[in-house]
Amino acid sequence: MNIYLPIAEMSVNVALFLGLGSAVGFLSGLFGVGGGFLLTPLLIFMGVPSAVAVGTGSMQILASSVSGAIAQYRRNNVDVKMGAVLVIGGVIGSVIGVSLMKILRQAGQFDLFVSLSYVTFLGAVGALMMIESLGTLRRSKSGQPSSVRKTGQHSWVHGLPFKMRFHRSKLYISAVPPAMIGAFVGFMAAIMGVGGGFVMVPAMIYLLRVPTSVVIGTSLFQIVFVMAVTTLLQAMQNKAVDVVLALVLILGGVIGAQFGAAAGGRLKGEQLRFMLAALVLLVCLRIGWDLMAKPAEIYSIGPVLGGGF
C-alpha cells in the first residue's frame, strides 16, 4: 500500500518504510544508540529530500528518547542540573544549526553540506571507535584489563572558570565544557538529524568524568528537550518535518527495538562496539561513494523546483 508524504512530496510504500523503521529500531536496540546517524542517510538513499530526512529524523529521535528518559529519571539516573546546562547549550547550537540550514537550502548547497558532514564526522567517529574496540578485543584475548584509563585524574577542564557543583554527579567543575558539548550536539541535531548520544556519552565520561551510572539518563534528558526545540524550529522555519513519514518510522522503530535489545544481550560490549564501528564506517563509505561517483543524470532541475524554499 502506498501513501503520499505531503512534506516530502512523494508517494512511498508503507511496508518498505515500516521495514526501514524496524531495521533502524533493531540496530538502536542492539547497540544502545538513537539511530539517527543511520536513519537520515538511509532516508536520503531512498529518495527522501535531505532537508526532510533531517527534520523528520529529529521528530523520530524525540519520540524514541522520551520513554528512555522517563525510565532513567525514575531510577534517579539523571543529573537534572547537569542536564539543564547541556540543554541551554543544545538549544543555542540548534538555533544556529537550523538558521544555517535555511541559508544553505536557499543557496542550493544543503545536500552537499549534509553529505560532507556525514563523511567527515562518521569517518572520524567510526575510525576512533574501531581502534578502541580492536584494542579492547586484543587486551581481553591476552587477559589484560579491558580499560587502561586511571580514575581520579584531573584534566584542563577542572581549571576553567564558572564552576558549579553538580550534586548527582558528585562533581565540582566549570559549566563551560558541558555547555559547549551541548551546543555541539544541538548543532549536529539541526544539521544532520542525529541525537548525538554517541558523542555526548563518551565526552561526559572521558572529558567531564561524569559517573557512568548517570551518563545515559542525563544524555537522554538533554536529547529530549533539544530534539523538541529542533523539531519545532525545523517545522516552523524550514517546513522540513513530515509527520506522516515520522509516524511510520516510529511505529517500525518501536517494534524493531524490542528484538534488537534481546539480541544485544547475547553479545559482549567490545563485540557490539566493533560491529557498531564497522556499521558507521560502511555508512560513511556509501555516502562518500555517492559524492564521488558519476551521477546517472548529469543535469537536473530538482533544486530549481523544490530545493530552495
Query: What single string gives the DSSP state of each residue in 185-201?
Result: HHHHHHHH----HHHHH
- With H, G, I as helix, E, B as strand and everything else as coil, classify residue 127: helix
pLDDT at position 86: 92
Is residue 84 in a domain?
Answer: yes
CB of 129 within 8 A of CB of 276? yes
Is residue 135 in a domain?
Answer: yes
How many angstroms separate the CA atoms of 241 and 246, rounded?
A: 8
Instruction: Provide the sign of the torsion angle of the four alpha carbons 107, 110, 112, 113, taken in this order.
Output: positive
Q: Cell 550536539, residue?
A: 185
The parent domain of residue 280 ranges over 2-141+156-293
Tens place of pLDDT per residue across the chain (309 aa): 788 888 888 888 888 888 888 887 777 666 656 667 778 888 888 888 888 888 888 888 887 778 777 877 888 888 889 889 999 999 999 999 889 988 988 888 888 888 888 888 878 877 877 787 787 777 777 766 544 444 445 555 666 767 888 888 888 888 888 899 989 988 988 888 777 776 777 778 777 888 877 887 888 888 889 889 988 988 888 888 899 998 998 888 877 777 776 776 666 666 666 777 787 788 788 888 877 776 666 555 554 444 444
**Residue 68 Rama label (left phi>0; alpha psi -120 to 50; beta):** alpha
Using CB atoms within 10 A of its CB, is residue 301 exposed (0-12), middle (13-18) or buried (19+)? exposed
Identify which of 121, 144, 154 has the alpha carbon closest to the alpha carbon of residue 284: 121
CB of 110 within 8 A of CB of 306? no
User: DSSP label at 266?
Assistant: T
Number of separate domains in the chain: 1
pTM: 0.73
CA dist 228 to 100, 232, 278, 286, Å? Answer: 18, 6, 30, 30
Is residue 85 in a domain?
Answer: yes
pLDDT at position 303: 47
Is residue 279 in a domain?
Answer: yes
CA dist 136 to 141, 143, 189, 207, 271, Å? Answer: 9, 11, 30, 20, 9
Strands 2-5 and 171-174: unpaired
To 5 degrees, how large is the angle CA 67–CA 190–CA 35?
45
Is residue 150 in a domain?
Answer: no
How many angstroms separate the CA atoms of 82 and 134, rounded?
A: 32
Instruction: Provide the sign of the torsion angle of the four alpha carbons 281, 286, 291, 293, taken in this order.
Output: positive
Is residue 237 in a domain?
Answer: yes
Is residue 149 in a domain?
Answer: no
Is residue 69 in a domain?
Answer: yes
CA dist 101 to 51, 186, 194, 227, 240, Å? Answer: 8, 13, 14, 16, 11
Q: b or e along 37-59 (b: 16 or more beta carbons within 10 Å of the residue's beta carbon)?
A: bbbbbbbbeeebbbbbbbbbbbb
How many angstroms separate the CA atoms of 58 and 52, rounded?
A: 10
